[in-house]
């Protein structure tokens, strides 16, 4: 997006506070956030509707983030030299805005222009071999020389090697914790360098220490912002393979560097190649696949990232779903995922009412959203 277009489509300070409050409220995720803003015509209106929606879904009280808490978080973000970016704003990678569960706001620190360039992810084993680290550095350096920004997760091993080799040409680190949280500790210097010369990205609240459940969410940021993901040394069960799976779900290209069949660290990458990933010996193998795609992707990147949010829309609050609709939809739900389209088709209820009931259940903590537009009841619902 051009600077002129970005300037026309930026949140006001008041909107940014309301977005942050809504995002930090209980049981509000990326998809429900989008549906709430579009359903009620803005985040402020959605905040007012939250308690009633949760009650309709079967929960008496829901925690709504306070204005004071949101203001304190914004103050802490600014004190860390960072800022919060929405889709279409500087620092928010355009490709990331296109994924199913794109974060409404991300915390960014560093060189914002890097987000708007073409990005390739390089990820792999934390306990990488010397050869694996060397391959990561070579591919990252060569991608940088070809004009690509290298994204990774600032983990040990392959990630750190890729970041260090692309620091001069452009690198983006997606973090599992808050943007000010250094993890792992030995990457403190690299974290500081990327925050100054590269770009740090996180969707988590500032100050948050990452836990196991946060890393898959970080992985979807890595793949989501990228044209493709290169895997170097990944065991049969590893976070890198999660990133590869997410890349495929997001319509991104997957590349894999082959390794010795005798090395367990190569098992995952070798399997990806067997399943159709591009066998990758050097950066040229990646560029050869991506170059023909760049024109189309550039055209998509020029669209307004805020267009999917009907913020400031002058609409009347929608009528709540009927009790009959709630009962009919409830009967179709189970702990096994089913697609929203199936619910609409089998219930005979219009899309607006189906999404309204699902939103009520999610805010009440009784519904789980899955990839592929699937939903299920929470086990203890």
* DSSP code string of 8-30: HS---HHHHHHHHHHHTSTT--H
Identify the pLDDT of residue 319: 86
164 with 252, same domain: the answer is: yes
Identify the pLDDT of residue 295: 63
Identify the pLDDT of residue 4: 40
157 with 276, same domain: the answer is: yes
Tokens 């919060």 map to which residue?
84
3-class DSSP assignment, residue 197:
helix
Quick check: is 120 in a domain?
A: yes
3-class DSSP assignment, residue 219:
helix
3-class DSSP assignment, residue 221:
helix
197 with 59, same domain: the answer is: no
173 with 272, same domain: the answer is: yes
Quick check: is 269 in a domain?
A: yes
293 with 354, same domain: the answer is: no
Of 57, 81, 105, the residue at which a domain comes to its end is: 81
Identify the pLDDT of residue 304: 52
Identify the pLDDT of residue 46: 96
Quick check: is 68 in a domain?
A: yes
Residue 130: CB atoms within 10 A of its CB come to 7
Whether the CB-CB separation of 297 and 227 falls below 8 Å is answered with yes
134 with 246, same domain: the answer is: yes
371 with 251, same domain: the answer is: no
Q: State the total domains in the chain.
A: 3
Within 94-171, residue ranges assigned H as helices are 130-145, 158-165
Give the pairing of strands 149-152 and 119-124. parallel
125 with 11, same domain: the answer is: no
3-class DSSP assignment, residue 16:
helix
Residue 205: left (phi > 0), alpha (psi -120 to 50), or beta? beta
Give the pairing of strands 106-110 and 83-85. antiparallel
Q: Dig out the tokens for 77 from the structure.
A: 């973000």
69 with 188, same domain: the answer is: no
Domain enclosing residue 20, as ranges: 3-81
Cross-strand bridge partners of residue 352 = none
53 with 115, same domain: the answer is: no
- Tens-digit pLDDT profile for the chain (381 aa)? 333 444 446 899 999 999 999 999 999 999 999 999 999 999 999 999 999 999 999 999 999 999 999 999 999 999 999 999 999 999 999 999 999 999 999 999 999 999 999 999 999 999 999 999 999 999 999 999 999 999 999 999 999 999 999 999 999 999 999 999 999 999 999 999 999 999 999 999 999 999 999 999 999 999 999 999 999 998 888 889 999 999 999 999 999 999 999 889 999 999 999 999 999 999 999 999 999 888 665 544 444 555 567 665 556 778 899 999 999 999 999 999 999 999 999 999 999 999 999 999 999 999 999 988 899 999 986
Q: What's the CATH number where 133 sits?
A: 3.40.50.450
CA distance 202 to 207: 11
52 with 154, same domain: the answer is: no
Q: Write down how long the chain is.
A: 381
Quick check: is 90 in a domain?
A: no
Of 53, 81, 109, the residue at which a domain comes to its end is: 81
Q: Dig out the tokens for 71 from the structure.
A: 């203001």
Whether the CB-CB separation of 84 and 106 falls below 8 Å is answered with yes
Q: What's the CATH number where 366 sits?
A: 1.10.10.10
Quick check: is 312 in a domain?
A: no
Tokens 């779900």 map to which residue?
249
What dihedral angle (degrees, nearest 10) is formed by the CA atoms of 330, 336, 338, 340? 50
Quick check: is 314 in a domain?
A: no
Quick check: is 241 in a domain?
A: yes
Of 36, 58, 81, the residue at which a domain comes to its end is: 81
263 with 128, same domain: the answer is: yes
Quick check: is 311 in a domain?
A: no
């Amino acid at each position: 997006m051009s600077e002129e277009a970005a300037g026309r489509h930026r949140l006001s300070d008041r909107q940014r506070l309301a977005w942050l409050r809504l995002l930090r409220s209980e049981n509000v995720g990326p998809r429900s956030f989008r549906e709430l803003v579009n359903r009620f015509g803005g985040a402020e209106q959605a905040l007012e509707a939250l308690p009633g929606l949760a009650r309709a879904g079967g929960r008496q009280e829901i925690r709504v983030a306070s204005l004071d808490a949101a203001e304190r978080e914004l103050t802490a973000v600014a004190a860390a030299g960072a800022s919060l970016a929405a889709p279409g704003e500087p620092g928010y990678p355009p490709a990331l805005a296109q994924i199913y569960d794109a974060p409404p706001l991300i915390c960014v620190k560093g060189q914002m222009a890097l987000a708007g360039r073409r990005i390739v992810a390089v990820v792999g084993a934390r306990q990488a071999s010397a050869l694996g680290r060397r391959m990561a550095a070579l591919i990252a350096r060569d991608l940088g020389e070809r004009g690509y920004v290298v994204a990774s997760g600032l983990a040990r091993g392959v990630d750190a090697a890729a970041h260090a080799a692309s620091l001069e040409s452009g690198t983006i680190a997606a973090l599992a914790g808050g943007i000010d949280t250094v993890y792992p500790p030995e990457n403190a210097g690299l974290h500081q360098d990327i925050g100054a010369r590269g770009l740090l990205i996180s969707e988590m609240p500032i100050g948050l220490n990452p836990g196991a459940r946060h890393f898959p969410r970080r992985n979807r940021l890595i793949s989501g912002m990228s044209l493709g993901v290169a895997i170097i040394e990944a065991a049969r069960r590893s976070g890198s393979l999660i990133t590869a799976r997410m890349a495929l779900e997001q319509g991104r290209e997957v590349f894999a560097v082959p390794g010795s069949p005798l090395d367990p660290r190569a098992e995952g990458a070798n399997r990806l190649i067997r399943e159709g990933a591009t066998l990758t010996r050097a950066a040229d193998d990646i560029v050869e696949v991506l170059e023909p795609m760049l024109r189309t992707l550039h055209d998509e990147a020029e669209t307004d990232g805020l267009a999917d949010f009907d913020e400031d829309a002058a609409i009347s609050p929608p009528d709540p779903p009927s009790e009959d609709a709630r009962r009919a939809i409830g009967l179709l739900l189970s702990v096994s995922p089913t697609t929203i389209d199936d619910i609409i088709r089998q219930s005979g209820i219009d899309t607006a009412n189906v999404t309204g009931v699902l939103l009520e259940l999610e805010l009440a903590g009784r519904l789980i959203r899955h990839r592929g537009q699937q939903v299920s009841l929470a086990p203890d619902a």
